[in-house]
Structure 1
Amino acid sequence: MTKLLHNDTCPICSREVAAYARQAERAGVALEIDGLDAAADWGLDRDAAARTFRVQQNGRIVEGLDAFRLLWARLPGWRWLARLTGLPGIHWLADRGYRHIAAPALFALHRRRERRAAQRSSR
């Protein structure tokens, strides 16, 4: 069983994970999807869980690009991307792109959504 933890409050992340879920269902791949409410089950708080994508398989938790690669390798329509991003130069570039650009940008948007929600609820 492959299990993922993602920021389900992020519209971009949610759409992407929904696409993975559809592909997994069509391929008969067992996939369990957790959102931020399950962060404590992963040993994390909500902010830590929102910072990066995580996959658990065979008791091992992987995060970031390697988590995506682990998931992609299990999904027929995505295996090519797992192989491509495993190539040394491409892995290095994609990992840094995710870790230093995409993940921080998505987390900043998450924090902004959280602040707006807190402001609305305090009114």
Structure 2
Amino acid sequence: MSKTDILYNAACSVCSREIDHYARISADQALPLQYDDLNDPETLRYWGVSAEDAAKRLHVRKDGQIYSGVPAFIVLWQALPRYRWLAKLVSLPGVYRCATWVYDRVLAPALYRRHQKRIAKAAAPAE
């Protein structure tokens, strides 16, 4: 099995909770998955993705190809034996279209807005 790299926002509580779950599974099963935090500038250089693009959606690299959004989740789930059924389900044409619409128009934008607020709050001068 070839290595799968996952780029995610460890500063996002929702993102990190989900990815930490996958990381525990992959560690327990010694699966070749690597989890990279987008908040590390070296990581972004390695990925060749801007901080803004990385924060907008999940990215996964497999066999030299980078996937983002729902396709990234499918690649990730395919690498986790307990989640292969979910990868197959979400890959079905009607389910894929619905999942992509929900992720691209609702979930990812909401998480990105939270990320922007976190950054703005951190950058605001202390009162």
**TM > 0.5:** yes
Distance 1:48 1:86 in 2: 24
RMSD across aligned C-alpha pairs, in angstroms?
0.9
TM-score, normalization by structure 2: 0.91
Query: Which of the residues 71, 85, 91 maps onto 2:76?
Result: 71
Unaligned segments of structure 1, at least 5 residues: none
- 1:54 Cα deviation after fit: 0.4
Count of matched residue positions in the alignment of Structure 1 and Structure 2: 121
What's 2:49 paired with?
44
Compute the TM-score of the two structures, normalised by the length of structure 1.
0.94
Residue 14 of structure 2 is aligned with which of 6, 12, 23? 12
1:103-122 equivalences under 5 Å are 103-119=108-124, 122=125
Rounded Cα–Cα distance in structure 1 between residues aligned with 2:97 and 2:89: 11
CA contact (8 A) 1:72 1:82 kept: yes
Match of 2:85 among 63, 80, 83: 80
Instruction: In structure 2, give the amino acid aligned to 1:22.
Output: R
Q: Deviations over 1:12-31 (max 9, x none)?
A: 00010000011111222111
Aligned to 1:99: 104
Q: Percent identity of the aligned residues?
A: 39
